[in-house]
Structure formats: C-alpha cells, structure tokens
Amino acid sequence: MRKTILVFGMIAFLVMSSFSQGFMGQRWRERILEFKNFHLLVILNLHEQTYVKFLSRYTKFSNDIDAIEVERERIVNEIETKLRKGDKDGYDRAIQGLIDLGKKEYELRLNFYKELKEILTDQQIAQVIVFERNFRREFMETVREMQKERMRRRF
C-alpha cells in the first residue's frame, strides 16, 4: 500500500510538472525514466555492478522504444491528415510502416529479454515485466484522473 501511494504520488508530480513543459517533452521523458529506474533498482535489489549493466541496457531499450512510439505517432498523424483531406491514396504505405514498426518493436523486446537473461534471474526478469505493465497502467490512470479534474475545474 505504501509503495502504491509513493508510486501514485511520484507519477502525479511528474505528470503535473510535464504539463508545464509540454506533454511528452524530452525532459519529461527523462524524468519518467529516472523515476522508473529508481523503482526498478528497489524492486530488483541488484548489486551495484549488476545494476549498472542492467541500467545501461534498460536505458537503451527505453530510448529505442520511445523512438518507435514517436515514429508510430507520426505515421498515425499522417494517416489522420490524409483522412481529413479525403485522400484516397497512400494508406497502404503508412499501414505497412506501422506493421514494420510493430515488427521492429517485437525484435527489440526479444533481444532485450535475451540480454537480460545474461545478468538477471528469470524471477527478476518477470519482476521487470510486471513492473512495466503496472507502471504503464498506473501512469495512464493518473493522467486520466488529472484530465478529468482539469475538465471539472473548467465547468
């Protein structure tokens, strides 16, 4: 319970500070990654040398996934623009781009987990996977709650 409150509080702080900097700005992403890294260190309880190896791989993986998400967003925005303009062509290329990004993301994840097997136990890898899912859920829920609160204040 205490950890949940701490996580929720940190997420709320990070989200609130991110709105003042522009949603999903580079500094915002860095702060989220720092927060995640700290909590992964606590959860995994790694020795310093192992943590340095893990952190290096995790940071690279996170940056690669972020780059894919940015590109995915760009392609979907391109599709949306085409739809608004009523364009009839160009969707196949954009959709194929999304499919290719999905494949690239799959390969990144597969390679990341293979690399983790060199430094972490299976249980620790499972902890990373569960942490990622829970973090994403709690983060999105916090963002939704903040948006609801913002809407309530407007009206």
Candidate from 71-80, 107-116, 144-153 with smallest mean pLDDT: 144-153
145: Cβ contacts below 8 Å, ≥ 6 apart: none
Give whole-number Cα distances, 92 to 71, 98, 106, in Å: 16, 10, 21
Mean per-residue pLDDT for 66-93? 92
Q: What is the pTM of this model?
A: 0.71
Q: What is the pLDDT of residue 3?
A: 53
Burial status of residue 54 (CB atoms within 10 A of its CB: 0-12, 13-18, 19 or more): buried
Candidate from 26-30, 129-133, 134-138 with smallest mean pLDDT: 26-30
| Amino acid in the structure at residue 35 | F
Q: What is the pLDDT of residue 12?
A: 47
